[in-house]
Structures are given as C-alpha cells and as structure tokens.
Amino acid sequence: MRLLLIEDDVRSAQYLMRGLAESGHVADHIADSRTGLAMAGEGIYDVVVVDRRMPGLDGVELVSALRRRDPGIPVLMISALSSTQQRVEGLKAGADDYLVKPYAFAEILARIEALARRNDEGRRQTVLQVADLKLDVAARSAVRGARDLRLQARELALLEQLMRRPGQVVTRAMLLEAVWNYDFDPKGNIVDMHMHRLRGKVDHDTEAALIHTVAGAGYCIRALATDGE
C-alpha cells in the first residue's frame, strides 16, 4: 500500500512514517499543504492522511479541494481538535475518517488499512494466485506449492505488483514508484537487484519459472514461459 502523509509536525510525521515503513507500507511525507494537495491529486496513493491544523491551506480546505479533484480517494484526517463540531467539520469537508491526537500507532494503521480495503474492489482480494504461487497480502506471506517463501517486505511488495497484473508487463519505473518513496534516491539497478532475489526464492528448484524478464521493458509473471526467456 502506498500512502501520502501531509503533516507539518515533524515529530508526529517521523513517528508515523517509521511505523508505516516497519509495517511494510510505502509512504511519502510532505509538510507543505499546497504541495501535498498537488501530490494527492496524482492518483498514485491508496490513502491520504491529512493533519487538520497546518499553516497556509489548512486540512479542511485541503480535503475540500482534493474532493473536487478526486471524489474517491480515501482520506484520514488527524487532529488535536477533538470536539464533536470539529470532527463533523472534518467529515463534512470530505474526510472518510477522523482520528484525534495523540493516537496509538496500531489504531491509525487499522484505520488506514480499513480505508484502503473499502476504496478499491480489486484490493479487497487479499489472496492472489498464479499457478501454484499464492500471496496473502493481508498476512504478508507467500507460498509456492508447499514451500514457504519467507519474503522480505520489499520482495512482498514487488510480488504483489506483479501478481495484481498477471500476464502484463510491469515496468521498472512502475515497480520503483510503487515500492520506494519519493525521497529514495535509486542507486544503479536497485529494482533488478531486488527482483533477482525475489526470483531466486519464487522460482528456485522448480520446473516452471513464473517471473520473466521482458527485455527493455520490465518484468512479467505468468504460468507459461515463451521462447527466448
């Protein structure tokens, strides 16, 4: 899952970003509300988390503007303002949920994941399968046949991108965008390095490879290989 956090409080942002990364999610953080609004409208995020009180464009104004551009994107508003009226204002502006600070990380993570599940029918499918390879997105586990693959967080994220598009080419740029955040400075062939490790686990000691390189384009997962791969 890829998230955008629009939050000007550095400590709060660091706390949430660290927890999201440890939970296997990709998150971008921006402190400037107007830049955050532009980023939120790019259509690449599963959930946007917005702080209510920010200089310039406040959270209520930001969410209202975002709703005019993208009515469907899930938005969680976070705020130290806790009165019923203030929560209602946030929800009426277009927030799908409202969480009062201070919050426990387990609660905000559960709310974020619930919003993502409700957003997209395709993402409600949490168990993906190609041939004898199964990926349980919710449990963050993968098996091929009876073999537990024991994948790391980025390997799971890469595999999910492939398995949600079986038979389609997934470019290196798409994988980089989905699995690494904006602040990441790619060094060399970082995608290829991680894909090499992933293929070593998925296709190790099997008669039929599932992950295939598409020369000059990216990668594809399918049950049947074609000549030349």
pLDDT per residue as tens digits for the range 90-130? 999 999 999 999 999 999 999 998 888 776 654 556 789 99
pLDDT of residue 95: 95
Query: Can you tell me the distance from the alpha carbon of 113 to that of 102, in angstroms, rounded to the nearest whole number?
Result: 19
Structure confidence by residue, pLDDT tens digits, 151-166: 998 999 999 999 988 9
DSSP letter (8 states) at residue 84: H
- Distance, first Cα to last Cα, the chain: 30
Structure confidence by residue, pLDDT tens digits, 20-62: 988 888 899 999 999 999 999 887 888 999 999 998 899 999 9
SS3 readout for 115-153? HHHHHCCHHHCCEEEECCEEEECCCCEEEECCEECCCCH
Contact 219, 212 (CB under 8 A): yes
pLDDT of residue 124: 54
Structure confidence by residue, pLDDT tens digits, 180-215: 865 666 666 899 999 999 999 999 888 889 999 998
- Strand (E) or helix (H) holding 48: strand 47-51
pLDDT at 176 over 90: no
**Which has more pLDDT, 133 or 174?**
133
Contacts of 34 (CB under 8 A, 6+ apart): 56, 57
pLDDT of residue 179: 84
Strands 147-148 and 141-144: antiparallel
CA distances from 13 to 16, 18, 59, 129, 223 (A): 5, 8, 15, 35, 42
Domains and CATH numbers, the chain: 2-122 (3.40.50.2300), 127-221 (1.10.10.10)
Tokens representing residue 183 in the block: 């602040």
* Mean pLDDT of the region 61-86: 91
